Structure 1
């Protein structure tokens, strides 16, 4: 997946307006994602905003208060938009700005749009109330809602000519998505429980005495909640270490974007590890100034070099 777009693709005024809409959605709703993509050149940043805006639409359907059958119908309508983009493209004057922007981006970057079908499949799992017995089961869900986003993003980033092991770039992008999603699951464990959702594998919950769930600000009586969190943190760190092998395959600004987004989540994971019960008391997050600092480190390559050295030492 060699990077082929060096200059900004031609865009008509309606397409530029559509991209502006998607960038506004991204800036307003993407708390962590926006810090990374602002490091990209304009064409890639716009394409990533189109991907985000479409993904946000899918997530909002899944998280909304609609009846289950209505959610399923809306998700299938959204899938039909993807079919239109793949088969015929979307006219610049279409009334759906997200579809216009995504269609233009897909016409200029080798974006594997099937990843958005996978995202819809993952959200349908949420709609149908799927639960997960094992980590292997949960990985299927994580690959749909996050690994697919990593592979879609790689279509925008491309890879550097001559990069070693470049054939494994989609695999690493997918794995990095899993690391981010598992971090999300840990952060949102109580919020999800209150909403009737359980993502952590049932086997892991039983192993640490947490099968009763997390509806309150304290762990279940007699459980080893700290042990559970530390177990999942180690799993997430291993995924980060593997996924970071993608960074040397990207150009400087794409690598900075990925390093910034992943770095924010990695620091969030550090906070959760230091105080596991914090996720039961409220939403754990990083202040804006720390996110900005991580973005600067990503642009300078410091986070990438740091993680690469740690990964090499661990494998030695």
Structure 2
């Protein structure tokens, strides 16, 4: 049995607002919130713009995604077979929890996930698709085309947008907002791929389509050379510029869907979009140097974006709500 986590005052207020009274569930959601605060700085900042009642569900979805991702990306000294087994154990526990049979006491993150999925009617298929993509990370090291990458990104990113959509709420039938929600998840993911080229190479993976790179005479060997020398070859710079432009187009398509969301959720999503899009700006400002350091959006810019977002969020909460 794991020790009980006492939620900090802010977390307790969110749990109260969400009507979560069970001590075990409060503990579970508090753990998810802590994961989000520790690992998802930009994401966590954006969630602060949601209503307190919405935040626990977002933390639960993030916490489970983080737990599964850590199995894949931080395996320690475990061999492939052991990591595969660990990931399948996570999937098995997820399925048990989603079935409603029982929730294991030693898996608070899964308990929070199951509660959120049931409460908001989130399609279980999205969780299965996510786990499929996590499994791909164990065997697939590169993708030939964007079409090939799309299968992975659907499960690793698009479905995240689809999972959170019921929590955010919409002013139109949910199906109308789903393409934009999925597109924003994809934009966030490709942004991460561009920022984390070096880290992914260290894990033996390339998440940028090889044919798009080849058009600029870039291959795995050249990327590895850039990583080893902490330098960006001009050919790689041109390839990254092309992919940054393509990703910005995805953000523009996704932004069209923000007005389809419940007004109280729009400041959060718009802020997240601007902050993540800001990572692309920082990559460009660094002259596409993603090999010598990790590009980040500075605290001053995060505050400058989040501040007005907070004002819009407060104003939206004070207006009458219409939610689908």
TM-score bin (small chain): 0.7 to 0.9
Greater alpha carbon shift after TM alignment, 208-217 vs 17-26: 208-217
| Alpha-carbon distance in 2 for matches of 1:242, 1:177 | 12
Residue 89 of structure 1, CA deviation: 5.1
Does the CA contact (< 8 Å) of 1:226 and 1:276 recur in 2?
Answer: yes
Structure 1 counterpart of 2:266? 255
Q: CA deviation at 1:300?
A: 4.6
In structure 2, distance between residues paired with 1:194 and 1:84: 34
Cα-to-partner distance string for 1:293-312 (whole Å, 9 max, x where unaligned): 2222334559xxxxxxxxxx
- Give 1:49 shift: 0.6
Q: Map of 1:31-70 to 2, 5 A cutoff?
A: 31-64=41-74, 65=76, 66-70=78-82
Residue 30 (structure 1) aligns with: 40
Mapped partners of 1:8, 1:194: distance in 2: 41
Contact conserved, 1:35 with 1:292, CA < 8 A, in 2? no
In structure 2, C-alpha distance between the alignment counterparts of 1:195 and 1:268, rounded to whole Å: 22
Cα deviations across residues 130-167 of structure 1 (Å, max 9, x unaligned)? 3111111112111111111111111211212xx3x753
- Deviation, 1:18, is 1.4
After superposing the two structures, state which structure 1 stretch, 188-197 or 174-183, moved more: 188-197
Paired positions, count: 290
Deviation track 1:44-95 (CA, whole Å, cap 9, x = no partner) reads: 100111111111010000112321111111111111122122222544x823
2:209 maps to: 201
Decide whether the 8 Å contact of 1:90 with 1:99 is kept in 2: no
Counterpart in the other structure of 2:186 = 178
What residue is the counterpart of 1:313 in the other structure? Answer: none
Contact in 2 for aligned 1:9/1:108 (Cα 8 Å)? no
Shift of 1:275: 2.9
| 1:24 shift after superposition | 1.2
Q: 2:111 pairs with 91, 100, 105, which one? A: 100
Residues 1-316 of structure 1: pairs in structure 2 closer than 5 A: 8-64=18-74, 65=76, 66-88=78-100, 90-91=102-103, 94-160=105-171, 163=172, 167-211=175-219, 212=221, 213-214=223-224, 215-216=227-228, 217-220=230-233, 223-300=234-311
For 1:310, the equivalent position in structure 2 comes to none
Q: Secondary structure at the match of 1:281?
A: coil
Give ranges in structure 1 of 5+ residues lacking alignment: 1-6, 303-316
TM-score, normalised by the number of residues in structure 2: 0.84
Aligned partners of 1:61 and 1:75 also within 8 Å: yes
Change (3 A) 1:242 1:156: same
Distance 1:87 1:259, change over 3 A: same
Q: Deviations over 1:206-228 (max 9, x none)?
A: 111111224231234xx522211
8 A Cα contact 1:260 1:297, kept in partner: no
**Whole-angstrom distance in 2 between the partners of 1:59 and 1:259:** 25
